[in-house]
Amino acid sequence: MVEHSAQLVGISDEHRVLSGMQPSGDSLHLGNYVGALLNWVTMQEKYDAFFFIPDLHGITVPHEPAELRSRTRNTAAQFLAGGIDVERSTLFVQSHVPEHVQLSWILTCITGMGEASRMTQFKDKSAKQGADSAGVGLLTYPMLMAADILLYQPDGVPVGDDQKQHVELARNLAQRFNHRFGETFRVPEPFIPEVGARIYDLQDPTTKMSKSASSPNGRLNILDTDKKLAKKIKSAVTDAGTEIRFDRETKPGISNLLSIYSAVSGKSIDELVEEYQGKMYGHLKVDLADAVVARFGPIRDRALELLEDPAELDALLARGAEKARAIASPLLDDVYAKVGFLPSTRA
C-alpha cells in the first residue's frame, strides 16, 4: 500500500515546510499527483506549509505569455481541487511576491561563476539549447530558487532527487551570507519523503512519467476526460507472457500498472498481485481505468469549476501572496539593512 504520511524526520509539527511546482503544462499528471500533491495535502495537516507556483522559473526558456498565464491558473486550480486548503496552507504565485526577485539579486552577487555553472540543470539545458542560444536566466535561476526557499525560513524543503543540488546551493548561500553579514537565514534541510510510488510512462515504462515525454499517451493527466484516461490505460505497453506480478526488471509495463493501481486505490501491490492471479492483462487494465477515473474525475471537475471563475481564483491567490509577503518583506528589509542599502522612505 502506498502510504502518504509525508513525515519529515527531524521536523516537528510546529516547523515550516515549503515546496513548489512549475506551471509547465496545461495539466498535472499522475506522477505530480502521487509524488508531490498527495504529500503536500498531508503536510499541511502537520506543518506550517507554504506552497507556491514558480512562474518566474517558467520564462528561463522561450514561452508564450498567454499560455504561461493560463497554465499558472490551471496549476493553482488543480492544487486546490487536489486538496490544498488555503485555511491551512499559504498558497501563492511566485511573481506576486516581488521579494523573491529582490533577494535573488543579493544571492546572485555572492554566488561564484564556477558554482553557478556547475549546476546540473544549467549544464543539461544549455547543452540542449546551445551556449549562444541559452539565456542568462538558466545560469541564475538557481539563485532565484535559493531565494524562494530562504525568504520563508523553512526548516525543511521536500524535494525529489533531482532537486537536492538546488537545496544544497541554498544552504551554502545561507551560510555564506550569515558568515559575511551576520546571522540572518535559517539553513534549511532537504527532505526526500519516503512515500509514494515512482510512476513511469505508459508507453515507455522504463522512463519516468513526464510533461516532456515524446508521446502524450504515456501520461495520465488530471484534466483528461474519463474516456481519454481509460483509453490511455487500455493502450499502455505491457510485457511478454500473461502472468501479473511485480518485477521491475523483467515486467516493467505490468509493474508500472500495479504501482499506479496501488497509488490510486490504496491497495498494496501484494494484494493486487494476489487478486489478479490467473487473470489476463486486460482485466487489470479495465479495473485500473475505473480506479483512475474514480480518483481523478472529482478533482478534474472541481478544478474546471474553479477555472470558470478566474476572478475568485485570483482572489484566493492574492490572499496567499499577502500572507507570504507578511513573512518575506521583513526578512528582505533585514537583508537590505545588513548589506548596506540606504533605508527606504516608503510608507
Per-residue b or e along 307-333, where b marks 16 or more CB atoms closer than 10 Å to that residue's CB: beeeeebeebbeebbebbbebbeebbe
> What pLDDT sits at residue 189?
83
285 vs 172: CA distance, rounded Å: 47
Q: Has 209 been labeled as part of a binding site? A: yes
Question: Residue 43: is its pLDDT beyond 60?
Answer: yes
280 vs 58: CA distance, rounded Å: 43
Per-residue b or e along 288-297, where b marks 16 or more CB atoms closer than 10 Å to that residue's CB: bbbbbbebbe
Q: Has 130 been labeled as part of a binding site? A: no
Question: Residue 130: is its pLDDT beyond 70?
Answer: no
Q: How many CB atoms lie within 10 A of CB 270?
A: 12
pLDDT band at residue 6, thresholds of 50, 70 and 90? Answer: very low
CB 155 within 8 A of CB 189: yes
- Residue 48 pairs in a beta bridge with 16
Question: Residue 4: is its pLDDT beyond 50?
Answer: no
> What pLDDT sits at residue 160?
67
The predicted-structure confidence for 267-319, as pLDDT tens digits, reads as follows: 999 999 999 999 999 999 999 999 999 999 999 999 999 999 999 999 999 99
Question: Residue 258: is its pLDDT beyond 60?
Answer: yes
Domains in the chain: boundaries: 16-196+309-339, 226-306
Query: What mean pLDDT is predicted for residues 64-89?
Result: 96
The predicted-structure confidence for 17-28, as pLDDT tens digits, reads as follows: 999 999 988 899
* CA nearest to 41, candidates 188, 177, 196, 166: 196
Q: How far is CA 261 from CA 131, 274, 301, in A?
A: 43, 13, 21
Please identify, in words, the CATH class of the domain defined by 226-306.
Answer: mainly alpha
Q: Has 160 been labeled as part of a binding site? A: yes
The predicted-structure confidence for 111-121, as pLDDT tens digits, reads as follows: 988 887 777 66
CA-only gyration radius of the chain, Å: 22
> What pLDDT sits at residue 25?
85
Q: Has 32 been labeled as part of a binding site? A: yes
* CA nearest to 122, candidates 194, 173, 57, 213: 57
Residues marked active site are found at 125, 208, 211
Q: Has 31 been labeled as part of a binding site? A: yes
Q: Has 253 been labeled as part of a binding site? A: no
CB 221 within 8 A of CB 27: yes
Q: Which three cell numbers stand for residue 172?
A: 551554502
> What pLDDT sits at residue 276?
96
pLDDT band at residue 193, thresholds of 50, 70 and 90? Answer: low
* CA nearest to 85, candidates 341, 301, 336, 320: 320
Question: Residue 187: is its pLDDT beyond 90?
Answer: yes
* CA nearest to 241, candidates 276, 281, 271: 281
> What pLDDT sits at residue 194?
57
> What pLDDT sits at residue 5?
41
> What pLDDT sits at residue 325?
97
Q: How far is CA 228 from CA 139, 193, 289, in A?
A: 39, 31, 10
Q: Which three cell numbers stand for residue 287?
A: 479495473
Name the CATH superfamily, with its identifier, for domain 16-196+309-339.
HUPs (3.40.50.620)
Q: Which three cell numbers stand for residue 165?
A: 543540488
